[in-house]
Amino acid sequence: MFHRETKFLAKQLDSSGKLIPVYSINDQEHFKPLCLVQGKEKDFFWKSERYYRTEFKISDVLVPGHYNKNLDVQDAGSVRVEHTVDGSVEGNINFENVEVKGLAKMSQERSINMKKTFVSVQVLESLQRERKINMEHSFITQLKNQRRNLYVIHEAVHASEETTFKDSNRLEGSIIAQIYVKLHGARNSKRDLTIPKDCVLAFRVMPLIIEDGSWNPVYVPTKKTKTFARDGVSEEGIGDPQKEVEQKCEVLTALSADLSAKFFNCIKTAIKNINLLQELVLELEWALDNPDAYQVKTENPDLRDLLQCLPGTTTVLFLDLAGAILYVAHALDELTEDQLLLVYESMERKILPPQLELVKNILKQDFHQNNGAFHLDAKLLSSLKEEQLNITKAMIEISGVMFQIDGPFLNGIGNPDDSSALAALYVVLCILHLLTKSK
């Protein structure tokens, strides 16, 4: 629930995606200004780079020296966010003179005072001139060997006071409500999340380039910006989304019948419970970073049943299998909780093939033209009954694409800013369809 709330707040405060939500409340202390975060190479066509906590601040990895100026973190003032949705009530958010509106399908109460802290660019530049990176530092050495990128946090959004978010599930008569009741057996449910004072909710980063001890913050990064030089390393990615999925999941399609069943049970469990999904992501990330020392931590029987197969395998198989499972989990984690429920129901109703074909065709459209409007052949969905069509529309609309059938045409409209969300949905549908066929 914490990650869902931080994603919501980050998107409302900055729709460009440069304000990054904190993933886990347990790690929030490591995402304050001047903290260092690492990023793994982006190798998915649909996913932006993920940022991981480290135990260090920028000053910890510099060569000792005399720097007279204080590394002051400044306060940029506070802002109050009120967002209440109950029936037709909407909440307005005002942040840095930009007003946005929030929408939701559940009864929610969000009221939070936040403050922004930052470290000035001038301070970073002055520090960069005075002190070099300690290239012998064990963290820097490991980072370079593992081809990780390094970033310094220069801005963070904190909770100004202890805050409780209330979430009441009252979706009488909606498709998502019916699916929720089917899976969880309760029509009305309430969840509360208490955010402690000064908790970091989101942050901005600046990539660093390091060479021979010199380091430079990058103000206008590109996709080719790397912390360390790549000697003779190709940076070409995978061009075909379907081929990427097939390549990443090849090891999963070759599983034994017993392991395949365990994998499906694990994925179904994670889809139905977003907290378990996030637990699966964190455990697999730790496993890949520590393959020789990995031990299963989760207590969930379905997750444990699958993950217990990892220890004892060869290193190559361990990395391939854990990496493939994490690829699937990362794709699922990009979807909203409502989308996951709709995906689960689509899987149960065996309507993934037409959904996959539709999303594939939508992704081919250029949303920068014609104000995002596009036209497709309505035959793409001719095999779906009314209720199946409603499930499909609801699932795709959450990714920012609206459409309706008008005679022989499927008329829709999309937003370029939402293309990554639609791409993640495509990956999920493609993976589940691929694995269902191999099963």
Residues 112 and 160 in one domain: yes
Please tell me the predicted confidence (pLDDT) of residue 309: 84
The answer to whether residue 236 sits within a structural domain is: no
**Within-domain flag for 320:** yes
User: 344: domain range?
Assistant: 337-438
Domain-embedded: residue 212: yes
The answer to whether the CB of 78 falls within 8 A of the CB of 114 is yes
- pLDDT bin (cut points 50, 70, 90) of residue 157 is very high
Q: How far from each other are the two terminal CA atoms of the chain, in whole angstroms?
A: 32
Q: The CATH number of the domain where 365 resides is what?
A: 1.10.10
Task: Quote the number of domains for the chain.
Answer: 3
Do 344 and 335 form a contact (C-beta atoms < 8 A)?
Answer: no
Q: Pairing state of beta strands 200-211 and 149-159?
A: antiparallel
pLDDT tens digits for 227-284?
988 654 444 444 577 788 888 888 888 888 888 888 888 888 888 888 888 889 888 9
Residues 49 and 187 in one domain: yes
- Whether 226 maps to a domain, the answer reads no
Q: Is the dihedral of CA 276, 349, 352, 176 positive or negative?
A: negative
Same domain assignment for residues 251 and 116: no
The per-residue DSSP string of 336-368 comes to: -HHHHHHHHHHHHHT-HHHHHHHHHHHHTS-TT
pLDDT digit string, tens, across residues 319-349: 889 999 998 888 888 888 889 989 999 998 9
* 34 & 91 share domain: yes
Determine the Cα–Cα distance for residues 130 and 348; give it in Å rounded to an integer.
61
Last residue of a domain, one of 333, 349, 365: 333
pLDDT value for 83: 47
Same domain, 288 and 423: no
Q: What is the pLDDT of residue 335?
A: 87
Residue 234 lies in a domain: no
The pLDDT tens digits of the residues spanning 92-136 come to 333 333 333 333 344 455 677 888 899 888 888 888 888 899 999
Asked if residue 366 belongs to a domain, the reply is yes
In a domain, 235, yes or no: no
What 8-state DSSP symbol labels residue 63?
Answer: P
The better pLDDT of the pair 134, 86 is held by 134
Q: Which residue has better confidence, 320 or 8?
A: 320
Confidence of residue 41 (pLDDT cuts 50, 70, 90): low
> What pLDDT shows up at residue 46?
59
- Tell me how far apart the alpha carbons of residues 26 and 21 are, in angstroms, rounded to a whole number: 13
Among 331, 272, 270, 318, CA closest to 298: 270
17 and 110 share one domain: yes
Residues 58 and 103 occupy one common structural domain: yes
Same domain (yes/no): 184, 246: no
Instruction: Verify that 281 and 184 share a domain, yes or no.
Output: no
Alpha helices in 131-174 (DSSP H): 138-145
Indicate the average pLDDT of the chain. 80
Domain final residue pick, 280, 312, 333: 333
- Which of 287, 313, 333 delimits the end of a domain? 333
Do 325 and 368 lie in one domain? The reply is no
Whether the pLDDT of residue 36 is over 60: the answer is yes
Q: Calculate the alpha carbon distances from 188 to 167, 237, 257, 274 in Å.
A: 10, 45, 38, 18
Q: Which residues contact 185 (CB under 8 A, 6 or more apart)?
A: none
Percent of all residues in the chain with a pLDDT value above 90, rounded to a whole number? 25
Question: Does any domain span residue 228?
Answer: no
Q: How far is CA 261 from CA 340, 402, 438, in A?
A: 20, 35, 11
For 49-61, the pLDDT digits (tens) are: 678 889 999 989 9
Checking if the pLDDT of 82 tops 80, the result is no
Q: Are residues 294 and 404 in the same domain?
A: no
Q: Do 393 and 303 share a domain, yes or no?
A: no
Q: Which two tokens stand for residue 111?
A: 């009221």
